[in-house]
């Protein structure tokens, strides 16, 4: 099928996603990823720690873990959709970072993303495709933050690439 042979124009893809996001906004709430990831973290922690997790107030008060939280399934859907797209277009294959510096950058980057999402109560998706279109004050604060962060991150990235 043509769809799986050619790269799709991202402007078209994001316009289509925006239309779907309007329906999601009307039914449940705007597209978000960080909330579902937090719930998954809680469920994994519960599986590992059992009842001891109750001793950490965050998981009692802010995010009591439960599996029927709809935001989790957006992330699982994205994983499934991407897997189908990659398989159908014969683009699925295991890719490994080669250098130790890449592994280190990914580890630190992942940690900062997780800490940042929990500190802000939102992720980049909610920032651009939820809060900003709702003209939420938090959207403008978050965009200022993510632009400043991306600029600092780019400086660090350049230094590591050159160094």
Q: Nearest distance from residue 129's CB to another protein, in Å? A: 6
Q: How far is CA 10 from the centre of its chain?
A: 18
Minimum separation from the CB atom of position 69 to another protein (A):
8
CB of 87 to another protein, least distance (A): 9
Q: Of 10, 11, 15, 32, which is closest to residue 136 (Cα–Cα)?
A: 32
Q: Is 85 exposed, middle or buried (0-12, 13-18, 19+ CB in 10 A)?
A: middle
Q: What is the DSSP letter of 9?
A: P
């Amino acid at each position: 099928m043509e769809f799986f042979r050619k790269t799709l124009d991202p402007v078209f893809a994001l316009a289509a996603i925006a239309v779907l996001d309007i329906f999601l906004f009307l039914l449940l709430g705007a597209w978000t990823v960080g909330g579902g990831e937090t719930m998954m973290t809680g469920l994994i922690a519960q599986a590992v720690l059992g009842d001891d997790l109750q001793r950490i107030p965050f998981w009692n008060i802010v995010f009591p873990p439960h599996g029927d939280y709809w935001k989790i399934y957006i992330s699982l859907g994205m994983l499934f959709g991407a897997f189908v797209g990659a398989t159908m277009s014969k683009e699925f294959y295991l890719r490994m970072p080669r250098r130790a510096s890449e592994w280190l950058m990914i580890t630190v980057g992942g940690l900062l993303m997780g800490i940042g999402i929990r500190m802000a109560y939102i992720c980049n998706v909610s920032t651009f495709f939820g809060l900003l279109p709702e003209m939420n004050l938090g959207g403008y604060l978050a965009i200022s933050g993510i632009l400043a962060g991306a600029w600092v991150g780019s400086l660090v990235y350049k230094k590591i690439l050159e160094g």
